[in-house]
């Protein structure tokens, strides 16, 4: 089950917020990748359809310009 912190990270990824090498959330990020919510695309991470659905299901919105 996704935590509020997981949903917040999915929202950050959906808004293309980058994660630095020193970011302490890498373990959480790698778990979300392993669980199929996020995929790596080159040097960036993006939501999969499963990740987008999880954000929508939790009522969180992605700020799309």
State how many domains the chain has: 1
In this structure, the strands spanning 44-47 and 38-41 are: antiparallel
63 domain residue, yes or no: no
Q: Residue 52: which of 31, 39, 37, 33 has the closest Cα?
A: 37
Tell me how far apart the terminal alpha carbons of the chain are, to the nearest angstrom.
Answer: 29
Contact between 7 and 55 (Cβ < 8 Å): yes
**What is the domain range of residue 24?**
4-57
45 domain residue, yes or no: yes
65 domain residue, yes or no: no
20-61 pLDDT tens trace: 665 678 889 999 999 999 999 888 899 999 999 999 888 765
27 domain residue, yes or no: yes
The whole-angstrom separation of Cα 40 and Cα 33 is 8
22 domain residue, yes or no: yes
How many residues are listed for the chain in this entry? 65
37 domain residue, yes or no: yes
62 domain residue, yes or no: no
Q: At 10, is the pLDDT very low, low, confident or very high (cuts 50, 70, 90)?
A: very high
């Amino acid at each position: 089950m996704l935590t509020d912190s997981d949903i917040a990270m999915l929202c950050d990824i959906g808004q293309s917020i980058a994660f630095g090498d020193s970011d302490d959330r890498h373990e959480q990020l790698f778990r979300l990748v392993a669980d199929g919510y996020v995929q790596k695309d080159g040097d960036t991470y993006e939501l999969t359809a499963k990740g987008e659905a999880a954000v929508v299901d939790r009522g969180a919105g992605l700020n799309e310009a």
